[in-house]
Amino acid sequence: MPNPESPAENNAERTDNRLMNLEIKASFVEDLLEQLNQTIYRQQQDIDRLVREVGQLKLQAQEGGVRAGGSAADDLPPHY
């Protein structure tokens, strides 16, 4: 039995289906982009924290490894 829809109606339905599929894909891409942005933001926070820690470690190494607020006597082995 032939399709009762006219070619124009069939074409419009295909166009609607294609548009709906593209909208769905765009929605998934937007979600993925937001997830990636959050990941990059967290990674940058980690990098900033690590840079600060490395800077602090460099200062400690330059000062002979004595911790801030501590004294050289605190670093002596217990048998002294």
**pLDDT tens-digit profile of 7-40?**
878 999 999 999 999 999 999 999 999 999 999 9
Q: Does pLDDT of 2 surpass 60? A: no
In a domain, 75, yes or no: no
Percent of the chain's residues with pLDDT above 90: 68
User: Domain range for residue 53?
Assistant: 35-59
pLDDT bucket at 70, cuts 50 / 70 / 90: low
pLDDT at 77 over 90: no
Token look-up 């990098």 returns 47
pTM over 0.75: no
Region class of 64: left (phi > 0), else alpha (psi between -120 and 50), else beta:
left
pLDDT of residue 36: 98
Whether residue 13 lies inside any domain: the answer is no
The total number of structural domains in the chain stands at 1
Tokens of 66: 């004595």
Domain-located, residue 51? yes
